[in-house]
Structure 1
Amino acid sequence: MLRFDPFSDIDALTRGLLTNQAGSNRSPRFMPMDLYKVDDHYVLTADLPGVDPGSIDVNVDNGTLTLTAHRSARSEESVQWLASERFFGTYRRQLSLGEGIDTTGINATYENGVLTVTIPMSERAKPRRITVSHTGNERSIEPTTVEAD
């Protein structure tokens, strides 16, 4: 007896469209990252184990921060693979930067397989205390009585 499940084909197609970037099953799926704010800047950390530091590119264009990195596949032809689960290929992640970011002050470091990008806020976007001034013409309001008719 054959079973036909029309939804399994749709599920497989949807999974393929949503999870697979261009390339084979060995292509990187995503670049896991954390983003948090400390004082007057943001810090982005992204896991990129085994990536050649020379292949990492951090680019800002028109309010979009783009992180790109590449991990090469092993090209040893005489190897008999018993398991091959690590992804290779190009990783790419884009983030839209909001108003108030100092794009000229962005810097990045790569250490122990982790890319760290520091994104400073611009001076105009930093919180600041505004002093309230007052004039010397202080008047008190005198109570008045209204007589009832």
Structure 2
Amino acid sequence: MIGQRQTIPLRVYQTDNQIMLAAPMPGLEAEDISVTIAGDHIEIRGEDRGPGQDQRDLLVEEWRIGPYYREVSLPQPVNGALANATYGNGVLILSMPKLEKGATQGTRVDFQLQPVGPGRGERIGHTGRDMHPMETQQHLKKHA
């Protein structure tokens, strides 16, 4: 398993207005995770964590702490600029509003999760209220 990227198993589901994606990525910190959203295409990356993993005298290694990677095509384009990303208990959750039918594909959005504070996970984006586009730095200032 040395140096191999692990494919992340996914759960993808939808509501009338959103597509949700859940991806287990155990052992990472929020800043180890980056996401790209482009229309109906999602790419998730988790960096290798835990130096020295390969130097141990392992008896069984069925999983390791990164690196993780997954690409997935969604059934419908989403608005990546209004996506919400939460990482807690080793699971990444993406909540992405669907684009209206006939709307343009939107722009490509790349982001890396950043810790916001202690509590129930790490967040970027909104917390269930009306969605307003906001950069990560603006979000951090608002909730400082």
Question: Aligned residues, how many?
Answer: 101
Q: Report the TM-score when normalising by structure 2.
A: 0.57
Partner Cα separation in structure 2 for residue 76 and residue 30 of structure 1: 18
Q: Which residue of structure 1 lines up, in the alignment, with residue 7 of structure 2?
A: 30
Partner Cα separation in structure 1 for residue 101 and residue 59 of structure 2: 53
Partner Cα separation in structure 2 for residue 25 and residue 124 of structure 1: 44
Q: Report the TM-score when normalising by structure 1.
A: 0.55
Q: Residue 71 of structure 1 aligns to a residue in which SS?
A: coil
Partner Cα separation in structure 1 for residue 87 and residue 41 of structure 2: 20
Q: Which residue of structure 1 lines up, in the alignment, with residue 31 of structure 2?
A: 54
- Deviation string for 1:21-70 (max 9, x for gaps)? xxx55624310110001231011000000022211001124642111112
- Contact 1:52/1:71 (<8 A) preserved: no
From the two aligned structures, give the one with the greater helix fraction.
1
Kindly tell me: are residues 90 and 31 of structure 1, through their superposed partners in 2, closer, same or farther at Cα, counting changes over 3 Å?
same
Contiguous gaps of at least 5 residues in structure 1: 1-23, 126-149
- The CA RMSD measured in Å over matched residues stands at 2.8
Q: Which residue of structure 2 lines up, in the alignment, with residue 134 of structure 1?
A: none
- Contact 1:52/1:70 (<8 A) preserved: no
How far did 1:80 drift? Answer: 5.7
Partner Cα separation in structure 1 for residue 22 and residue 9 of structure 2: 8
- Contact 1:50/1:71 (<8 A) preserved: no
- Within-5 A mapping of 1:1-149: 24-25=1-2, 27-61=4-38, 63-75=40-52, 81-85=57-61, 86-124=63-101
- Contact 2:10/2:22 (<8 A) preserved: yes
Q: Residue 47 of structure 2 aligns to a residue in which SS?
A: strand
Partner Cα separation in structure 1 for residue 35 and residue 52 of structure 2: 27
- Contact 1:26/1:87 (<8 A) preserved: no
- Contact 2:12/2:21 (<8 A) preserved: yes
Structure 1 or 2, whichever has the larger Rg, is: 1
Partner Cα separation in structure 2 for residue 93 and residue 30 of structure 1: 6
Contiguous gaps of at least 5 residues in structure 2: 103-144
